[in-house]
């Protein structure tokens, strides 16, 4: 997050709610211990809220209901510290609540890198990676189905671009580094 904010000062961060929930489940060992099932379900419901107001109101409700449980209070306090990064998708409808789509890109990249024998230098590796990322960000989606069908013929960058950001030629930056 710090690197993203340093290089892109206007970036809006949204943590992956699926990973946050999984971290809470792991901490409470709720998959093997049914004692925490009610609280985990409340966290899942918290992340399903459709407005900042609903989210805040329900978070206060959870805090009040579990005021005598220091473990749950600690989890809720940690969520409160990160709330700006947990509710970005409620404030900015362009922000996804999960990064599963990003993870699918990562697995695609991993498959490409695995087949490579190596790079001549860090510079060639950097140029290859930059070209790969640019290609992925600028290539239109073609086989989205179901509720993602509307993404077909659009690019990932078109959904996240900050149109008011200063225009910088990526090719000029790459050429300067080579």
Which tens digits make up the pLDDT trace of 78-135? 999 999 999 998 988 777 777 766 666 677 777 778 777 788 888 888 898 889 888 8
Burial zone of 111 (CB within 10 Å; 0-12 exposed, 13-18 middle, 19+ buried): exposed
Q: CA–CA separation, 72 vs 82, rounded Å? A: 16
Residues 6+ apart with CB under 8 A from 138: 155, 157
Secondary structure string (H, E, C) spanning 18-57? HHHHHHHHHHHCCCCCHHHHHHHHHHHHHCCCCCHHHHHH
Domain boundaries, the chain: 17-91, 100-177
Q: DSSP for 68-108, please give it.
A: T-HHHHHHHHHHHHTHHHHSHHHH-TTS-S--HHHHHHHHH
CB-based contact 7:78 (threshold 8 Å): no
Token look-up 């892109």 returns 8
pTM above 0.75, yes or no: no
Q: CA–CA separation, 87 vs 98, rounded Å? A: 11
pLDDT digits (tens, 9 = 90+) for 35-87: 999 999 999 999 999 999 999 999 999 999 999 999 999 999 999 999 999 99
pLDDT digits (tens, 9 = 90+) for 162-173: 666 555 554 444
Q: CA–CA separation, 24 vs 172, rounded Å? A: 44
Q: CA–CA separation, 172 vs 29, rounded Å? A: 51
């Amino acid at each position: 997050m710090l690197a993203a904010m340093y290089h892109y000062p206007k970036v809006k961060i949204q943590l992956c709610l699926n990973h946050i929930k999984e971290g809470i489940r792991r901490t409470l060992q709720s998959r093997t211990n049914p004692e925490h099932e009610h609280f985990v379900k409340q966290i899942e419901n918290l992340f399903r809220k459709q407005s900042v107001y609903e989210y805040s109101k329900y978070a206060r409700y959870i805090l009040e209901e579990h005021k005598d449980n220091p473990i749950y209070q600690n989890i809720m306090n940690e969520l409160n510290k990160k709330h700006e990064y947990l509710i970005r998708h409620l404030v900015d409808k362009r922000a996804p609540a999960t990064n599963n789509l990003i993870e699918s890109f990562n697995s695609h990249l991993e498959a490409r890198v695995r087949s490579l024998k190596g790079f001549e230098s860090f510079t060639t590796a950097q140029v290859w990676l930059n070209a790969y990322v640019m290609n992925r960000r600028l290539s239109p989606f073609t086989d989205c189905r179901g509720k993602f069908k509307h993404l077909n013929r659009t690019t990932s960058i078109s959904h996240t671009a900050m149109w008011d950001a200063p225009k910088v030629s990526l090719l000029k930056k790459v050429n300067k580094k080579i």
